[in-house]
């Protein structure tokens, strides 16, 4: 069935998959037009800045999804443990149990890192800050919360790589379960959530 593309946002899922599969440098115009079903002229109508604008829009789209489905819930949790559990559920679903590459992480490791450095940094920093916020609400001290948040995000990213390398989605699921168990250990007290420092 032909792809229906009525506006710029309709192209983003298809563009994202091309960048995931081929990387920024390998994502040729031929691949991008084929994935979206648009001709070169139509694609440039939506993205006058070309491939760089397409990639930037995809990264913004990913960031917006995580803001809506993960970060905002972690920052203002009615129940911090439930918010953290929801994060793990959303992550497992989004990354297809490790079958889907983390495009932001892939960009961070590629030669295109300098082009999109701020988008990459802000995505991961927002994730760490939001998770640390929920951890502080659950009773963790600030320093411990930010360190644990960093380790958790790093663990999720590593689990994606390992699951794909071994072609075994259970690696991803088991790692998420272990991480959730580690950070949801009971902790006394529930201090008010504060905006955390930028971790170094």
Q: What is the pLDDT of residues 45-89, one digit of tens each?
A: 999 999 999 999 999 999 999 999 999 999 987 899 999 999 999
Q: What is the pLDDT of residue 24?
A: 94
pLDDT digits (tens, 9 = 90+) for 98-150: 999 999 999 999 988 889 999 999 999 999 999 999 999 999 999 999 999 99
Place of tokens 């309709």: 10
| pLDDT over threshold 60, residue 1 | no
Q: Per-residue DSSP letters for 140-195?
A: --HHHHHHHHHHHHHHHHHHHHHHHHHT-HHHHHHHHHHHHHHHTS--S--PPP-P
- Do 5 and 36 form a contact (C-beta atoms < 8 A)? yes
Strand (E) or helix (H) holding 115? none
Above 70 in pLDDT, residue 198?
Answer: no
Note whether 77 and 134 are within 8 A (CB).
Answer: yes
Instruction: Sketch the domain layout of the chain as residue ranges.
Output: 60-183
> In a 10 Å sphere around its CB, with 0-12 CB exposed, 13-18 middle and 19+ buried, how is residue 185 labelled?
exposed
Please tell me the CATH code under which domain 60-183 is placed.
Answer: 1.10.357.10
pLDDT tens string 137-188: 999 999 999 999 999 999 999 999 999 999 999 999 999 999 999 998 755 4
Residue 180 is predicted with a pLDDT of 95
192 has pLDDT over 70: no
Question: What's the whole-model pTM score?
Answer: 0.87
């Amino acid at each position: 069935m032909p792809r229906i593309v009525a506006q710029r946002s309709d192209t983003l899922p298809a563009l994202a998959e091309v960048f995931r599969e081929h990387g920024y440098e390998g994502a040729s115009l031929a691949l991008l037009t084929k994935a979206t079903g648009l001709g070169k002229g139509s694609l440039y109508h939506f993205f006058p800045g070309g491939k760089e604008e397409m990639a930037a829009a995809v990264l913004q789209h990913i960031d917006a999804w995580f803001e809506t489905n993960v970060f905002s819930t972690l920052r203002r949790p009615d129940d911090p443990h439930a918010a953290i559990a929801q994060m793990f559920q959303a992550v497992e679903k989004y990354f297809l149990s490790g079958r889907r590459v983390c495009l932001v992480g892939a960009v961070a490791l590629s030669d295109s890192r300098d082009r999109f450095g701020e988008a990459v940094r802000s995505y991961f920093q927002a994730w760490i800050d939001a998770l640390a916020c929920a951890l502080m609400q659950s009773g963790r001290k600030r320093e411990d919360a930010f360190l644990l948040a960093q380790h958790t995000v790093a663990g999720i990213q590593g689990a994606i790589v390992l699951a794909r390398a071994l072609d075994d989605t259970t690696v991803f699921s088991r790692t998420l379960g272990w991480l959730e168990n580690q950070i949801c250990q009971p902790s006394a007290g529930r201090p008010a959530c504060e905006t955390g420092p930028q971790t170094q």
